[in-house]
Structure 1
Amino acid sequence: MPRALVIVLDSVGIGGAEDAHAYGDAGADTVGHIAEACTKGQGDKAGLRSGPLRVPNMASLGLGLACEASTGRMPPNLAPQGAVKGAWGYGVETSKGKDTPSGHWEIAGVPVVFDWGYFPNTAPSFPKELTGAIIAKGNLPGILGDKHASGTAIIDEYGAEHVRTGKPICYTSVDSVLQIAAHEETFGLQRLYDLCHIVRELCDPYQIGRVIARPFVGTTETGFKRTGNRKDFATPPPSDTILDTLTKAGRTVVTVGKIGDIFAHRNTGEEIKPHGNDACLSAAIDALKHLPDGGFVFANLVDFDSEFGHRRDIPGYAAALEAFDRRVPEIEAILKPGDIVVITADHGNDPTWQGTDHTREHIPVLAFGPGLETGSIGRRESFADIGASVLTHLGVSHVGKGASWL
């Protein structure tokens, strides 16, 4: 019986979304612009990397060809050298929004057809009623922030005052999100999680997609730094995803990284949540090694987005792509006959773009495995085609959105 692994390279978009103008993102192209920047020396960083973007393994799976199909341009150094080893194409998002739940839910067969709630880019951002309820139900002396902000900048701005007063730092962005930053030691990690549980319920009437715990450590003297103990508190998908379908069919499901959080821990099977891209990829590879026939591993590699996209760090993003690419042969080496792997993304986060937010883009769809037919699978009219194809490959009836290319 076949098995399946889907790896979401968080924010690794490939440009070209037709409705990008509606989001202020017309012309954004995460992979293409990184590749172009690297040829101009903008991806160079001493001790990290230099020169053109080097991702030969993903290029051989069709990454450059998918970029070219999406935007009409072949990014520098991404053309395959020799025969293409995978099935390649690009996906078009039909969901509203350009955030993590929208992309992942659609991949799993549930496009977002309703409007998320958002907080305005004003100061304060949050309604007085919500702020009052957070303070009262969280038994807090108050909150800090209450505005749109970068997660790293706002802890620099308010970290010392937070430690002194015990007031958590609450902020938002253009995404449907309320983020709460607090010091792991002086405020307490579990207390932060408990507060986020409270705020999750308070945000439901506002249609907010996620409440995110953003713990940090440090002092005024040493500086403040976020830790890997982030936790997302998401609203659950409105209907069954492929995770629900596979669980009901008795299949083994393993989710890696923040997948469990994104799907509100509903039928997310064994959840493994290491810190960092490399550790998450290692966990996904190990899970596939031990996965029973008919099983499914769903992994998210968040560092592309959180560490490099939002921070507009071109060299860091390029280095992360190259680091992942070097491990693609490791994935190929453990595949059994009948296995399928899909490498994809959930949205864009172009590090050359203005601002610090996600960008509305197409996503790559790179599928490979022993005996899998290679070549173009074309333009996929929904991310949900990925979930539909996984179910088809695993021999489970498909009841959600999307059309299988298999």
Structure 2
Amino acid sequence: MARAFVIVLDSLGIGGAPDADRFGDAGSDTLGHIAERVAPELPNLARLGLGAAAAIATGRVPRGFATPGAGAGFWAAAAEASRGKDTPTGHWEIAGCPVHFDWGYFPAGFPSFPAELTDALIRDGGLPGILGNKAASGTAIIEELGAEHIATGKPILYTSADSVLQIAAHESHFGLDRLLTLCEQARVRCDPYNIGRVIARPFVGAPGSFKRTANRRDYAVPPPADTMLDRLAAAGRSVISLGKIGDIFAHRATGTIVKGESNAALMAKSLELVATAPDGGLGFVNLVDFDTLYGHRRDPAGYAGALVEFDRWLPSLEAALRPGDLVILTADHGCDPTWTGTDHTRECVPVVGFGPGITGGAQGLRQSFADIGETVLVHLGLPAIGTGQAIGL
């Protein structure tokens, strides 16, 4: 029986979406600008069709990419139908559930959060107060306020261009369990504001050397309708979720959860998944380092290095596949490390499918990420949701 594996290279956009100008992102191009600045050698991604997918989105092949070669299956670019460019929106649409409503957002300037919300959180958590209360880069605001946080016991609250409230606190001085409890309370408090995620951002270290840890936790609202994960669960099929997939879907129908502290750790666990996943099942992987370590921090060289690491790993994945397996490489949004600011960018994403016997070639510009979820369901012999068009295999 067939198996499917969807690997999300978090934030690997391939050129501004048709509506990028509405988001201030016309001209953004995560992959293309990295290729221009750094020119990483990515022979396996090129062979499988990543450059050809980017050419569908932008009309040009990124620097250093050749046409697809032996082993290529199908490739496409996909535009996002949902309103927004954040992580849950992108992943839900990949899974067949576009978001056709507007999220709530907190303003960037101080104070970002309404007093009734912060007052409630102070009461809920027995806090002496809060710090931050503005839009900020997570690493920057920890460096700015980390020492005061340790001295006062006040957690650091901040937001971004996404529909999000983030809470940073020191694992030792504040306590990880206390931070997670506070975020659970904040999740309830944020519901009336239609906020997509509350994110726990624990860190360790001392002033001048603070470091965020792998104990991050996302508290998302559940998808508003069925996803491919619900379809698999209803059919009694196996779902294995690697990285932050479980958090993104509020742990609804996400099956077995496997965590990893880095892309490298998750790639190693992905090989274990391919070796053990049962017939008829789905492995759903998010590789977040591209986004958090390099996209948001506007580090093209670091992003390029992570892509090279992934490219070198790909042949081991291909060698582990069985007849009937389908792998789809994609992304949930862009985060162009050459762009202004530190936020996501509204871009098309790649849809690169391969596996033993998988064919199809160029599949054009898809009108929704939901085509990915529909393709997975059809490949696994399950009813499509109807929110997209499955790619003919």
Same-fold call, TM > 0.5? yes
Q: Are the counterparts in 2 of residues 56 and 80 from structure 1 also a CA contact under 8 Å?
A: no
Supply the distance in 1 between the matched residues of 2:112 and 2:386 (Cα, whole angstroms): 36
2:382 aligned residue:
396
Alpha-carbon distance in 1 for matches of 2:282, 2:319: 18
Matched, 1:4 2:26: no
Q: Matched residue of 1:8: which SS?
A: strand
| Residues 211-360 of structure 1: pairs in structure 2 closer than 5 A | 211-220=198-207, 223-360=209-346
Q: Give the distance between the partners of 1:274 and 1:375, measured in 2 at CA.
A: 33
Distance in 1 separating the partners of 2:118 and 2:68: 56
1:17 counterpart residue number: 17
CA distance in 2, matches of 1:301, 1:80: 25
Query: What amino acid is aligned across from residue 27 of structure 1 in structure 2?
Result: G
1:131-185 Cα deviation digits (max 9, x unpaired): 1111111111110000000000000010000001110000000100000000000
Matched, 1:92 2:111: no
| Maintained 8 Å contact 2:325/2:355 | yes
Residues of 2 paired with 1:143 and 1:82: CA distance?
55
Q: State the match for 2:132 in structure 1.
A: 145
CA distance in 2, matches of 1:133, 1:249: 42
Mapped partners of 2:274, 2:225: distance in 1: 27
Shift of 1:403: 0.9
Structure 2 distance, partners of 1:81, 1:205, is: 48
What's the secondary structure of 2:25's corresponding residue?
coil
Post-superposition shift, 1:16?
2.7
Asked whether the equivalents of residues 143 and 170 of structure 1 are also in contact (C-alpha less than 8 Å), the reply is yes
For 2:301, give the aligned amino acid: P
The TM-score normalised by the length of structure 2 is 0.98
SS of the residue 2:67 aligns to? coil
Structure 1 residues 163 and 400, CA gap change in structure 2 (3 angstroms): farther
Q: Distance in 2 between matches of 1:150 and 1:108?
A: 29
1:28-86 superposed Cα distances (whole Å, 9 cap, x missing partner): 00000000111xxxxxxxxxxxxx21111010011111111100111111123644612
For the residue of structure 2 that corresponds to 1:327, the secondary structure is: helix
Give yes or no for contact 1:6–1:342 (8 Å, CA) kept in 2: yes
Contact persistence 2:52–2:68 (CA under 8 A):
no
Q: CA deviation at 1:373?
A: 1.2
The residue number in structure 2 matching 1:169 is: 156
* Cα displacement (A) at 1:402: 1.0
- In the other structure, the counterpart of 1:101 is 88
Deviations, residues 232-280 of structure 1 (Å, cap 9, x unaligned): 0001001111111101101010000000000000110000011111111
Distance in 2, matches of 1:104 and 1:85, equals 24
Name the CA distance, whole Å, in 2 between partners of 1:83 and 1:274.
32
Work out the CA distance in 1 between the residues paired with 2:386 and 2:218.
25
Aligned to 1:45: none
**Corresponding residue of 2:26:** 26
- Asked whether the equivalents of residues 71 and 354 of structure 2 are also in contact (C-alpha less than 8 Å), the reply is no
Tell me what 1:53 maps to: 40
- The answer on whether the counterparts of 2:73 and 2:360 sit within 8 Å (CA) in structure 1 is yes
CA–CA separation in structure 1 for the residues paired with 2:308 and 2:250: 31
Aligned residue for 2:210, secondary structure, equals strand
CA contact (8 A) 1:15 1:30 kept: yes
Provide the secondary structure at the position in 2 that maps to 1:300: strand
Structure 2 SS opposite 1:299: strand
Separation in structure 2 between the aligned mates of residue 128 and residue 349 of structure 1, nearest angstrom: 31
Contact 1:241–1:400 (CA under 8 A) maintained in structure 2: no
Looking at structure 2, the residues matched to 79 and 206 of structure 1 have their Cα atoms a distance apart, in angstroms, of: 47
- State the distance in 2 between where 1:27 and 1:73 align: 13
In structure 2, distance between residues paired with 1:5 and 1:74: 26
Q: Which runs of 5+ in 2 are unaligned?
A: none
- Number of the residue aligned with 1:42: none
Q: Equivalent pairs: percent with the same residue?
A: 62
Change (3 A) 1:5 1:138: same
Report SS of the residue matched to 2:269: helix
8 Å contact kept, 2:48–2:68: no
Please tell me whether the aligned partners of residues 177 and 209 of structure 1 are also in contact (alpha carbons under 8 angstroms).
Answer: yes
Tell me how far 1:374 sits from its aligned partner. 3.7
In structure 2, what is the Cα distance between the partners aligned to 1:70 and 1:37? 19
Deviation at 1:283, TM superposition (A): 1.1
SS at match of 2:219: strand
CA distance in 1, matches of 2:290, 2:270: 17
Q: Which moved more, 1:254-263 or 1:70-79?
A: 70-79
SS in 2 for 1:219: coil
Which AA in structure 1 matches 2:203? F
2:61 is matched with 74
**Whole-angstrom CA distance in 2 between matches of 1:318 and 1:364:** 16
- Tell me which amino acid in the other structure corresponds to 2:300: I
8 Å Cα contact 2:87-2:332 kept in structure 1: yes
Cα deviation digits, residues 193-242 of structure 1 (max 9, x gap): 1100000000001010000000000112x521111111100010011111
